[in-house]
Amino acid sequence: MTAGAGAPAAAPTEWPTLALIAGCHAAWAAATTVLAAASLPLALAATTVLVALFSSIQHEVLHGHPFRSRRLNEALVFPSLTLLIPYGRFRDTHLAHHRDEFLTDPYDDPESNYLDPAVWARLSVPLQALLRFNNTLLGRMLVGPAISQATFMAADLRALLAGDGAVARAWALHLAGAGLVVGWLVTLGHMPLWAYLGAAYAGHGLLKIRTFLEHRAHERARGRSVVVEDRGPLALLFLNNNFHAVHHAHPQLPWYRLPSFYAARRDRFLALNGGYSYPSYAAVFRRHFLRAKDPVPHPFWPQGDR
């Protein structure tokens, strides 16, 4: 999808992103040591937010920020503070997700929440009920991280058993980094590991607010990506990825340029995506906290296609 003039070229060094990465690491270190010693509940809340922010930073890095060097960028997010997903696997599956012609495809979009209707029909009634709950915003925040983690790990296990070297390398690096995070918590931190794992899970639950409605089933690829016109705390936490149609059209744009780029081309973007937009995350909560946005089976999937 294109909207108006091309995006400005990336700077050799994006200082706002570099400062954000440094600030996130410093805040994480303080939350797991000084703050955890003073108040574990406050430290848990802060760490939850920082895990979500770190994942948003990883998303910036995999799209080529803040430097032009991929190795240097990826060194900035090692080890992964999120613990649950190897960065290398996040990078590879997310870049595959950016093939817009496959957005929401139950098979070829790694981030799709839709199922082939034939697969859906074979599921047990309790599992169907769980997935329906997962299609409400409350469900996505509470059980969504567990469902996506289980699905992701099952797919990676199959790849490992098939001898996929790239998946093996990503997990080896991730486990080495996870060892560093655990070592920090044990030697310098004042946060128990169980508490950190809880904060990591909750941080992924926060991220589900963003991913909950990023894409919809639509006949045209350009109509599948949302815009949430929010400029509040959640937009900052998600590094403006709520302007998701803009991000998919211009994935090279850094987070701090997305709002102004959208504002200058608002009518064009909304025309292209068929008006798929929300005025704020408050509106998203009002409409979908207990009410599903989508069915689980893909509404446009050809019956018996696979």
Domain extents for the chain?
15-212, 217-289
Q: Given this model, what pLDDT does residue 302 score? A: 82
The pLDDT of 122-140, averaged and rounded, is 98
| Torsion, Cα of 277, 282, 288, 289 (10° steps) | 160
Per-residue pLDDT tens over the stretch 170-213: 999 999 999 999 999 999 999 999 999 999 999 999 999 999 99
Per-residue pLDDT tens over the stretch 220-241: 999 999 999 999 999 999 999 9
What separation in angstroms does the CA of 269 have from each of 37, 241, 256, 302? 48, 15, 18, 28
Residue 80 has pLDDT above 90, yes or no: yes
Per-residue pLDDT tens over the stretch 284-297: 999 999 999 999 99
The pLDDT of 8-36, averaged and rounded, is 92
**What pLDDT band is residue 11 in, cutting at 50, 70 and 90?**
confident
Peptide bond into 302 cis (omega under 30): no
The H-assigned helical ranges of the chain are 15-30, 36-38, 40-62, 70-75, 87-97, 117-122, 125-134, 137-142, 144-161, 165-187, 193-211, 233-237, 244-249, 258-263, 266-272, 281-288
Residue 143's φ and ψ, nearest 5 degrees, are -110, -10
Task: Answer yes or no: are the C-beta atoms of 296 and 131 closer than 8 Å.
Answer: yes
115: CB partners within 8 A, 6+ apart: 106, 131, 296, 297, 298
**What pLDDT band is residue 7 in, cutting at 50, 70 and 90?**
low
**What pLDDT band is residue 4 in, cutting at 50, 70 and 90?**
very low
Q: Given this model, what pLDDT does residue 41 score? A: 98
Tokens of 51: 């895990």
**What pLDDT band is residue 5 in, cutting at 50, 70 and 90?**
low
Q: Cα–Cα distance between 60 and 58 in angstroms, integer?
A: 5
**What pLDDT band is residue 304 in, cutting at 50, 70 and 90?**
low
Q: What is this structure's pTM?
A: 0.94
Any idea which residue has 């839709």 for tokens?
Answer: 114
Which value, in Å, is the radius of gyration of the alpha carbons in the chain? 19
